[in-house]
Amino acid sequence: DILAPPPAQLTLAEVDNAIVEAMASATPEPAYSTLVYQYIRPSIVFISVKNGTQADGESSENPAQEETGPSNTDESDPSDRSIPNEDGEGNRPNDGPTPGEGNLEPQNPARGGLGSGVLINDNGDILTSLHVVENATEIEVIFADGTESPAQIVSTLPEKDIAVLTPSKLPELLVPATLGNPNALNIGDEAYVVGHPLGLYGSMSAGVISGFNRSFRPQNSEERLEGLIQIDAAVNPGNSGGPLLNRYGQVVGIVAGLANPTEDSFFIGIGFAVPIDVAGGAAGLPPY
């Protein structure tokens, strides 16, 4: 009816209420860190070792720093991936068992220890730190879907503390990580570490790239690691061998250890990673 009166104008309060209701019903975009975790989660591997020579798989690193300084070298599909639950804990696809979840018990020296690793190709090869597995008499790996398998060392790069493991059994869904270019990193870029610190499965820490071309001599080692990436994302025993990630969820390094002037071997803000273009050489990956 053209003679009908126009609708009443909304008051300012009604407009504000409508905006508040619309914003409350909208789903916010996930944080970058959430996307990074979802992207890498299926590629993370839990590594358990048995040996008769050391207290745990990380203790050959124990990861205390004796000395650091500039290096003398010039080295400078996601929908299939698991999603963290509401508590922020990484759930495995198919609800597989989660080692170390909830409670953390001291490890038995006779049993060995633990570390982290990351799938790097369709063959199921796993990149990790050599010090995690070098003294092992048995190596067991657990994939993100709960698949467990014995593994053996097939290649090493001792001067970079890198080892490549091959498992006897692969999961039904194999999701290798996407490798990034560490040479594209800048100081201040986001840095993420995912691994199993102190046996807490699938934990993530975040920080920034703090420096490049660092050198580091792990405790109980005569050799210095050179050309390392320095990060301030938290690194603790159990993180070694896990991936260092950029904001796109790409692996740009393998966690090597942490600097610590105390005897406690826990993080104080300085961690180190081997650039992935160097670490990948142990598995025959082409450099950038």
Confirm if 127 and 117 have CB atoms less than 8 A apart.
yes
Catalytic-role residue among 59, 116, 240, 265:
240
Note if 240 is an active site residue.
Answer: yes
Confirm if 61 and 235 have CB atoms less than 8 A apart.
no
What is each CA distance from 63 to 3, 137, 266, in whole angstroms?
Answer: 83, 21, 8
Note if 196 is an active site residue.
Answer: no
**One-character DSSP codes across the chain:** -TTSPPPPPPPHHHHHHHHHHHHHHSPPPPPHHHHHHHHHGGGEEEEEEE-SSSSSTTTTTTT-EEEEEE-SS----GGGS--B-TTSPBPPGGG---TT-S---PPPTTT-EEEEEEE-STT--EEEEHHHHTT-SEEEEE-TTS-EEEEEEEEEEGGGTEEEEEESS--SS--PPPB--GGG--TT-EEEEEE-GGG-TTEEEEEEEEEEEEEEEETT-SPPEEEEEEE-S---TT-TTPEEE-TTS-EEEEEEEE--SSSS---SS-EEEEEHHHHGGGGTPPP-
Catalytic-role residue among 48, 131, 196, 210:
131
Residue appearing with tokens 């005569």: 222
Catalytic-role residue among 71, 125, 129, 161:
161
Note if 25 is an active site residue.
Answer: no
Confirm if 160 and 273 have CB atoms less than 8 A apart.
no
* Catalytic residue annotation: 131, 161, 240
